[in-house]
């Protein structure tokens, strides 16, 4: 994943995945700027400007983009209640959610592109070395089946808890079985990330090429993913969709109600957060 999409994903997790959304909102700009600093070794002025940019973009997303996400949450509550849900319905919902995320990311380009273009060759080299080291550690962690399973759980457990709240014991067994057979292409992922990071470094040597490279990333965050990795990850994600479908079809009425309530609670918190941000921005404008 490119570092700028990571920024948006991290913001999404902080805001939608925290039980105290207002607390997450208050701390998100600092946390995200800190993560970008980890990747690029930013100067204090850069980090300060980036933090302000993130705050502004976060407010814009909450005010302008969040309503579309809330509609997706409403749709998800409807799907949770369906006892005869089809795989095509679940797939369509997931694709709409991903499209929402990528559309939001694309609209961040005017704010984030200037920051990226101001990165120095030294900072981009720092980023490259940082990612290469991460990949070496990633390869070591996933060199065994036990390590692969642990990493796979770490990546997918949040998504399941976000959609389904707590899993029942039988659902946890389904998840465990999926972890055993998913066949995640860790090595292909690592090679793909290494190649895309090398391309990022190479493109940065020419201002015009770097700008075009970044614009491509904002239009399509997966543009530089290798074909080998893309084809294999699609198979894994399809099997993950089957896992979600099994959970939905096998849910007891009490679990359906619990999950609808969980989603409704998050929905209500997001609505309140949006109202707060709109009110705060209205005062600042006046």
Side-chain-side CA neighbours of 41 within 13 Å: the count stands at 12
Q: If 0-12 CB within 10 Å is exposed, 13-18 middle and 19+ buried, where does residue 108 land?
A: buried
pLDDT at 159: 86
> How many Å apart are CA 88 and CA 81, to the nearest integer?
16
Q: State how many domains the chain has.
A: 1
Cβ-contact 67, 260 below 8 angstroms: no
Q: Which residues lie closer than 8 Å to 165 by C-beta, 6 or more apart?
A: 258, 259, 262
Mean pLDDT of 87-116: 93
- Asked if residue 170 has pLDDT above 80, the reply is yes
- Is residue 124 scored above 80 in pLDDT? yes
- Residue 114 has a pLDDT of 94
Amino acid 32: pLDDT: 86
Checking if the pLDDT of 86 tops 90, the result is yes
Using one digit for the tens of pLDDT, what is the confidence trace for 228-285? 999 999 999 999 999 999 999 999 999 999 999 999 998 998 899 999 999 998 877 6
Structural domain of residue 29, as residue ranges?
3-285
Residue 109 contacts residue 218 (beta carbons within 8 Å): yes
**What pTM was computed for the model?**
0.89
Mean pLDDT score across all residues of the chain: 90
User: To the nearest whole percent, how much of the chain has pLDDT over 70?
Assistant: 92
Q: Enter the tokens of residue 104.
A: 């939001």
């Amino acid at each position: 994943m490119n570092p700028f999409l990571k920024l948006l994903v991290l913001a999404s997790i902080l805001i939608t995945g925290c039980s105290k959304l207002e607390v997450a909102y208050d701390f998100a700009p600092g946390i995200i700027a800190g993560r970008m600093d980890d990747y690029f070794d930013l100067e204090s002025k850069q980090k300060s400007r980036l933090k302000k940019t993130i705050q502004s973009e976060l407010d814009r997303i909450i005010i302008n983009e969040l309503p579309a996400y809330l509609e997706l949450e409403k749709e998800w509550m409807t799907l949770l209640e369906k006892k005869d849900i089809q795989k095509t319905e679940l797939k369509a919902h997931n694709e709409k959610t991903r499209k929402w995320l990528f559309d939001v990311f694309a609209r961040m380009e005017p704010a984030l592109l200037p920051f990226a273009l101001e990165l120095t060759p030294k900072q981009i080299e720092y980023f490259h070395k940082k990612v290469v080291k991460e990949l070496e550690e990633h390869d070591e962690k996933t060199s065994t089946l036990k390590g692969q399973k642990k990493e796979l759980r770490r990546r997918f457990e949040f998504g399941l808890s976000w959609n389904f709240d707590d899993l029942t014991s039988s659902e946890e067994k389904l998840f465990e079985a999926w972890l055993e057979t998913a066949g995640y292409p860790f090595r292909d992922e690592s090679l793909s990330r290494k190649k895309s990071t090398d391309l990022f470094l190479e493109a940065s040597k020419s201002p015009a090429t770097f700008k075009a490279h970044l614009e491509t990333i904002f239009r399509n965050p997966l543009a530089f993913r290798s074909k080998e990795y893309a084809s294999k990850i699609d198979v894994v994600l399809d099997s993950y969709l089957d896992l979600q479908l099994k959970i939905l079809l096998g849910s007891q009425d009490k679990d359906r109600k619990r999950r609808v309530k969980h989603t409704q609670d998050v929905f209500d918190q997001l609505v309140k957060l949006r109202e707060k941000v709109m009110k705060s921005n209205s005062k600042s404008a006046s």
